[in-house]
Structure 1
Amino acid sequence: TLALGWQKIDDYSAELRISVKDTGIGIKEEDIGRLSTAFERIEEERNRSIEGTGLGLSIVRQLLGMMGSRLEVRSTYGSGSEFSFSVTQRIVWWEPVGSFAENYRKAMMNSVRYRESFHAPDARILVVDDTKMNLTVIQGFLKRTLLQVDVVENGADMLNYVQQKKYDVIFIDHYMPGMDGIEALHRMRQLPGNVNAGVPCIALTANAVAGAREMYLAEGFTDYLTKPVDSSKLEQMLLDYLPESAVIRVKAEERPPEAVMLPEIEGIDTAAAVANCGSAALFREIADEFCAGTEERASQIEGYARQRDYKNYTVLVHALKSSARLIGAAELAGRAAELEALGSRPDAAAVAEGTPALLALYRSLSGRLRPYLERELPQPQGRIPMTREQFDGAVADVKQCILAFDFDTAEEIVRMMGQYTVPVGKETKFQRMRKYIFAGDRDALLNLL
């Protein structure tokens, strides 16, 4: 019988206890001390039919000694024996992970065998979305395509950008505060000397209802894409609308799936979140952004509900719905969708009644996410310090990779740097560098480095 147990030692460690108990012939008390002797076999005559060299327990004791533990043996001759040991285990997250087998199955089912279908280093696109998380996901999805991706968070900034640069494709979110996507598109089309006249403009929407395509085409969009954005559909959309001369097709190879193991977080389907975000690393970045603005966004929603400003209320609740879907928070997304519909009517009484529960769930979910985001903050024991010279050298290598559009090697260098303790005063730069790497933000990286 195998038994596993544990006991908390402090905030960062626990004692694990493992024991194996049998109902065999047992060991005489005077023979127990001989178990650790190499090549020693107890009751050789009685056990002559059992193969072995007598090294097993000797090796076990040596291994346990290296881990600061020892093997304990209790036995009753004729009844059986129990072998046990305890080891200290560092803990970075106290939430239960649930069923390992089930989580692994989900992770493998949702792991995408991804290989970018094209490269387009000379093409440039603009993405307009008031939800920063959506921008981060799209940048992350497209970093391996080598596309130049500009992002802005509102229609006014979009109008400034399109007067300064020529784009090959423009993605515009429909629901944005102030100037929505449809108004931004109409204003862009009316700009004098518009350098982006005729450029394909794709609507981004979380409301994929019947007739949506026809409505967006009638408003002047070229096509539309639903959110959360699917990486394969995004790439296919770009292949459909990028100039053929800018696209370099990539041989259809498959990358091995990323076996993602994340802790269970109440209210979040982590497997769906990783599928939506593209990787566990990017999910962490997105979840961080989700939590960072919780109180500000919740207060804004409360204020608009109180003021009965249902236009802005609906825009913010729509953005919350989109963000919740992105991180796999189905219940929060569902409640937000209901209140978005109520705000659109508007139904003042239902909005006033339902908003507090929505925001309570929103704040609660952010609270449950924060420990997951903070779990890597304690430095693992035994992490080797990195000198300033080593740090600067690694940063220079990352910059050379980014200049050469080699994000794979740059990402690997950053992962290796993460195994060391960063020099004092360099932590913020390293965290920003890691964030921009995973988001595929080449311009921000080069400015930082």
Structure 2
Amino acid sequence: MPKDQDLWLNQLKGVVVSDGIRYTGSEEAYLKFLRTFTCTLDDKAKEIEDSYNNKDMDFCTMKVHALKSSARIIGARKLSELAERMEEAGCKGDTKTFDAHINELLDLYRSYKDKLSRLPKEMEIIKKEPISDDALSDAYEAIKAFAAQMDVDALRMIIDELGTYILSKKDEELIETINRKLIQFDWDGVEKLLQ
């Protein structure tokens, strides 16, 4: 990894870098996940805010659940833990707790746009490299786990990440089939493909 990227990681605020690397498998993969998290932040924060304002608590809770997962993947512990408390409140119909913390959640989430603003520009252009057997195996295990949780956004992050690597024809076809199952919300189908 270039020294400037390594330095940037060491200076990163708001995340536990060791968590992110453990979840994603490598520093390079972690940086790619951070890029995805940053690029989708505005739209996903607006989805949470709009669904809350429209009193669509089921959809809002689902999006908060997805935020919990993606925040955990990048090592944003405080954000992930707050999202988890909000998700639990939403599932219980505890609107008092949800109302009390929604602005805190959105402010903290949006603060990561500034925290991650120094993401190296060279990450915008990534040359595809072959994926290691271990990384591919970890990705498939993560897909199975998130399919069991019906976590669309976390699955999208993993599939997008796999798209940055050179895959075998067999794995490309498997990922494409998983994508089709995901579009249909066929969670059991996704899990069966990876058994």
Both structures adopt the same fold (TM-score exceeding 0.5): yes
Distance of aligned partners of 1:290 and 1:438 in 2 relative to their CA distance in 1, 3 Å threshold: farther
Cα displacement (A) at 1:363:
1.0
By relative contact order (CA 8 Å, sep 6+), the higher-ranking structure is 2
User: 1:308 offset after TM fit, Å?
Assistant: 1.7
Once residues 71 and 123 of structure 2 are traced to their aligned partners in structure 1, the CA distance between those partners, rounded to angstroms, is 25
Matches within 5 A, 1:46-125: 92=4
Q: In the alignment, does 2:123 pair up with 1:371?
A: no
Are 2:172 and 1:443 aligned? Answer: yes
Q: For 2:115 and 2:168, how far apart are their aligned partners in 1?
A: 28
Q: Are the structure 2 counterparts of residues 440 and 325 from structure 1 closer, same or farther at C-alpha, using a change threshold of 3 Å?
A: farther
Matched residues, number: 142
Determine if the alignment matches structure 1 residue 272 to structure 2 residue 19.
Answer: yes
Post-superposition shift, 1:407? 5.0
Q: CA deviation at 1:267?
A: 1.1
Q: Tell me whether 349-358 or 261-270 shows the greater mean CA deviation.
A: 261-270
How large is the Cα RMSD of the aligned pairs? 3.6
Letter in 1 for 2:87: E
TM-score (norm 1): 0.28
Alpha-carbon distance between aligned partners in 1 of 2:101 and 2:73, rounded to the nearest angstrom: 22
Distance 1:358 1:440 in 2: 40
What SS does structure 1 have at the residue aligned with 2:12?
Answer: coil
Q: 2:9 aligns to what SS in structure 1?
A: coil
Q: Is the contact between residue 131 and residue 166 of structure 2 (CA under 8 Å) also seen in structure 1?
A: no
Q: Which runs of 5+ in 2 are unaligned?
A: 133-159, 174-195
For residue 320 of structure 1, what is the aligned residue in structure 2?
67
Using the TM superposition, give the Cα deviation of residue 289 of structure 1 relative to its aligned residue in structure 2, in angstroms: 0.9
- Name the SS of the counterpart of 2:30 in structure 1: helix
Amino acid at match of 1:333: S
The code of the aligned residue for 2:164 comes to Y
CA distance in 1 between counterparts of 2:11 and 2:77 reads 15
| Separation (CA, whole Å) in 2 of partners of 1:440 and 1:335 | 39
* Structure showing the higher helix proportion among its residues: 2
Instruction: Determine the C-alpha separation between the residues in 2 that align with 1:317 and 1:262.
Output: 26
Q: Which residue of 2 aligns with 1:298?
A: 45
Q: Structure 1 unaligned runs (5+)?
A: 1-90, 98-260, 379-394, 409-431, 445-449
Deviation of the 1:438 alpha carbon:
6.8
2:42, 2:110 within 8 Å by CA — same for their partners in 1?
yes
Question: Which of 107, 130, 137 does residue 360 from structure 1 map onto?
Answer: 107
**Could you list the per-position Cα deviations for residues 211-246 of structure 1 after superposition, in whole angstroms to 9, with x for gaps in the alignment?**
xxxxxxxxxxxxxxxxxxxxxxxxxxxxxxxxxxxx
How far apart are 1:339 and its partner, in Å?
A: 0.6
Shift of the alpha carbon at 1:333? 0.4
Alpha-carbon shift at residue 440 of structure 1 (Å): 7.7
Q: Match of 1:293, SS?
A: helix
CA distance in 2, matches of 1:305, 1:363: 16
C-alpha distance after superposition, 1:348-390 (max 9, x if no partner): 232222111111111112321131243x379xxxxxxxxxxxx
* CA drift at 1:92: 4.5
- Are residues 407 and 310 of structure 1, via their aligned partners in 2, closer, same or farther at CA, if it must alter by over 3 Å? closer
Aligned residue for 2:86? 339
- CA gap of 1:280–1:435, structure 2 versus 1, over 3 A, is farther
| Residues 401-424 of structure 1: CA deviation (Å, up to 9, x unaligned) | x9xxx756xxxxxxxxxxxxxxxx
Cα distance, 1:443 vs. partner?
2.9
Hey, what's the Cα distance between the residues in 2 that align with 1:439 and 1:350? 45
Deviations 1:26-80 (A, max 9, x none): xxxxxxxxxxxxxxxxxxxxxxxxxxxxxxxxxxxxxxxxxxxxxxxxxxxxxxx
1:277·1:283 contact (CA, 8 Å) conserved in 2? yes
1:92 and 1:344 mapped to 2: Cα distance?
43
If you compute each CA radius of gyration, which structure gives the higher value, 1 or 2? 1
